[in-house]
Structure 1
Amino acid sequence: MEYHDTEKAKAVASRVEAFMDEVVIPREREALATGEPITTDEIEDLWEQAKARDLFAPQVPEEYGGQGLGFRDMLPSFEQVGRSLIGALAIRANAPQEGNMHTLEMVGTDEQKEKWLRPLVQGELTSAFAMTEPRQGGGSDPKMLQSTAVKDGDEWVINAHKWWTSDGLEADFYLVMARTDVEAHPYAGTSIILVPREADGVEVVRNVPHLGGHGITERTGGHAEVKFENVRVPVENTIGEENAGFRIAQLRLGGGRLTHCMRYSGMAQRSLEVAKAYLTEREGFGDSLAEKQALRHRIADAETRLHAARCMVRHAARELDESDARIEVAMAKMYTANVTNDAIDLALQCCGGNGIGKDLPVAHFYEHVRAFRLVDGADEVHRRTIARWAFDDVDTSEVENALEFDEELRIDALER
């Protein structure tokens, strides 16, 4: 398909595709076959190979060690890395690191960028974004945020209980969302504060067990439960403007949702490729399964919806250059999450017993993709946003005029 991406975007994506096919996916297949995890040293070697191919951290400005791609130009590359379980990690474009890099680059001070962003890009540090809380705290309704940060001289005193903090078990620092003006509405009184792991009062409780929680690398990853009890950090650790945390988080999440869409689109595309290859080779009931019309039509439907999802993401990315594109992003995220879930489910079904077996990557993809309908906003939250926009735009005059005219006709008939 031709998506009219720029020549630069196409060129980088082509190199990323080659890197996936020649280096990353073969190593992934080996790890799946042997059960031996990919070591941290091997990941760092992949980073060096990515640097040699001018692929490392494509989303980060060159001055901090990345490739300096604009947001729209990096999307095709993110789709290519999504084809592998370790693809994004192999070029330092994995969540949540990618989103945290973007946040620091977008609103961090020069000092924060030198101290935290530069080593984060190079893999010398690992970060986590701590926003979600156990019930009854902030989650799908972020206005329920319970975490607080109170000024004491030139320090913040932070008290927070977070969970689903991606990479929180390994993080060297956390970007913590906390209410810094409890008298104000949370949208106008919340800040993002950088908290080093070694700060007194930081307790990493556990990694929350979850679907798809096992990986093929030595890196723990996962989503941690973390407590911050009377943690003191300098006020200068505030990321961006004080009390602007929700606005900054929205900027972070808008782009992050679209990069997730492309990564999962790549995952869905590879799943369909595996399924089509299996259907072509597997015989049953007189000929290859690829000749069975029902399966052919379902594959055709999946390819069509995946194409539509890619178009929606690119459109939302264009709009994001000019505005917050809240509705376009919500539509793209919700639609792509469901499309990729359905495509990978279909691929697994097409492969039969081999689909649920883990010699192929589809079962791993299947476990990972289900979370996409929850992370970065559950389907229902995005539907609520879209519905509010849809009904706010309703013109009731036509209905009202029609009812008024109908009433006039009825009265006239009675009088006659």
Structure 2
Amino acid sequence: MIDLRVLRDDPDLVRASQRVRGADEGVVDALLAADDARRAAVARADALRAEQKAASRSVAKAGADERAHLLARARDLAAQVKAAEADQAAADAALRAAQLAVPNVVEDGVPPGGEDDFVTLETVGIVPEVAEPRDHTEIGAALRAIDTERGAKVSGARFYFLIGVGAQLELALVNLAMEQAAAAGFVPVIAPALVKPETMEGTGFLGAHAAEVYKLADDELYLVGTSEVALAGYHANEILDRDSLPLRYAGFSSCFRREAGSYGKDTKGIIRVHWFDKVEMFSYVPAEDAREEHQRLLAWERQFLDTLELAYRVIDVAAGDLGSSAARKYDCEAWFPSQGTYRELTSTSNCTTFQARRLNIRTRGAAGNEPVATLNGTLCAIARTIACLLDHHQQPDGSVYVPAALRPWLGGREVLTPA
């Protein structure tokens, strides 16, 4: 949730954020109205409670001739207080609903517009020249590494098996990512893939992204689309020792996405699938340190892609393509020769205090308890990274070059050759 003080002090800032997102500015006015109504309800309830206390004291001091009248007045005030408290509870609920409808305020400098309006910040590496590139599906089949046909037979469209060297590639990538994360000070975590509704809502995934989420209705649990969700909920309703910050976790989990609205997109292979594994970085920092931490997460993502010897570009994602929790997001897109374009491999988002306010995660500051900032960054989305490695490092003879950093977990192999 956004800071209500920001809304009260500068509602035009929040409206401007909605404009660059291409989103409804009306939610800002609805939140202002809900905030005013809630404050009025609190003031009325407080005034009536004070009057009720005064009336109770008067009854205790009253003589016999006044007592009946004062008792009747006290009973009437008690009924009014009860009604006022019900109104306050309703106003609290309406305010929360209005707050949940307003996405995070974007940072200054975020490009306006939608998915295609990103700004390229840097291009890294040399794009490989492949005369007749094959896509990762064909390469993976030749290596007997990926089996999408049996994945579809067993589970349906957008599922797959990683077999043989494909399974070994996953384990190699997980080990490499966790090794880098631990060296950078992240605590390795194996995170649950099922979370409660309040955790999913707290991270902002039940708003615009609700159609992407799998729900287990019989159990009131959700399957996560990223371990960001579980890691954000890890410290819910806690006050973190300021001296312990930053807290950095590297979470590994399976991830599940319905891919609603993606009909016809990336139907082949393992780029856009319903299930994949991922290593996700997650940071808790003081609010004033969030922008610097965002740059650090991006640097760690770039380090990982450099280690995999990939050509990539870094983009500043446009406001209309941000999730509701993000104030800014950077993507790293690697080159796919078979597609002749860059495709997203990693992303990192600065969620400022937006998620922490929803999840009640605070630290003790000079002015009392205050929300922390949360940030997330994909270190390795395994299936998509395997697809990129096969595509990017394919050789004319049908083999695939293995980056040096992965070789220790692949038996020292320098190339993967068709079975």
Q: Which bracket does the TM-score occupy, shorter chain normalised? A: under 0.3
TM, length-normalised to structure 1: 0.24
Q: Which has the higher helix share?
A: 1
Which is higher, the Rg of structure 1 or of structure 2? 2
The higher relative CO (CA closer than 8 Å, separation ≥ 6) is in: 2
The alignment's TM-score, normalised by the length of structure 2, stands at 0.24
